[in-house]
Structure 1
Amino acid sequence: MEVDGNGVEDELTPLIIGIGSEVEITVLVIDDDPDLLDLTASFLKRERDEFSVKSEPNPEDALERLRENPVDVIVSDYDMPGMNGLEFLEAVREEHEDIPFILFTGKGSEEIASKAISKGVTDYLQKGTDSSQYSLLANRIANAFEQYESRKRLVQSQQKFSKLVMNSTDMLGIVNAQGRFEYISPVCKDILGYEQEELIGECAFDYQPVEDRKHVMELFFDAIEDPTQEPVIEHRFKTADDDYVLLETRGKNMFDDDLIDGFVVNARDISGLKKRERELEQQNEQLKDMRKVIAHDIRNPLSLAANSMVLYEETDDEEHLERTKRAIERIDSLVDRVLMMAKHERTVEGTEQVPLKDIAERAWEMVGTETDRAELHVVDSRELEADPNALQQAFENLFANAIEHTSGDLTVRVGTMEDGIYVEDTGQGIPKDSRERVFESGYTTNANNTGFGLNIVKQIFVGHGWEIDLTEGADGGARFEITGITFRPTVY
Structure 2
Amino acid sequence: MISILLVDDEPVLLDLGSFYLTQREHFTVDTASNGKEALERLEKRPYQIVVSDYDMPYMNGIELLREVKQRSPNQPFIIFTGKGREEVVIEALNLGADFYLQKGGDAKAQYTELAHKCRRATERRQAQDQIRHLARLYSLLSRVNKAVYQIRSRDDLTKEVCHIAIEQGGFKAASVCMLHPVTNLPEIVAYDTSPDTLGKTTEPFLSPDSVPTLHTLKEDRFHVCSDNRRYPHEESYGRALCTAGFLTSASFPLKVSDGLIGALTLHSDEADFFSEEEVLLMMEITESLSLAFELMAQEREKEQVADRLNMMLSAIESDNDAFFLIDIKGTIQYANHAARRITSDECTDFKSHHYNISSTGLLTVEDIHRLAAKRKEIPITDDGLNANNPSARSQEQPGLSVRSFEHDGSQFFLVHLRQDRS
Please classify the TM superposition score into its range, dividing by the shorter chain length: 0.3 to 0.5
Q: Which has the larger radius of gyration?
A: 1
TM-score norm. by structure 1 comes to 0.39
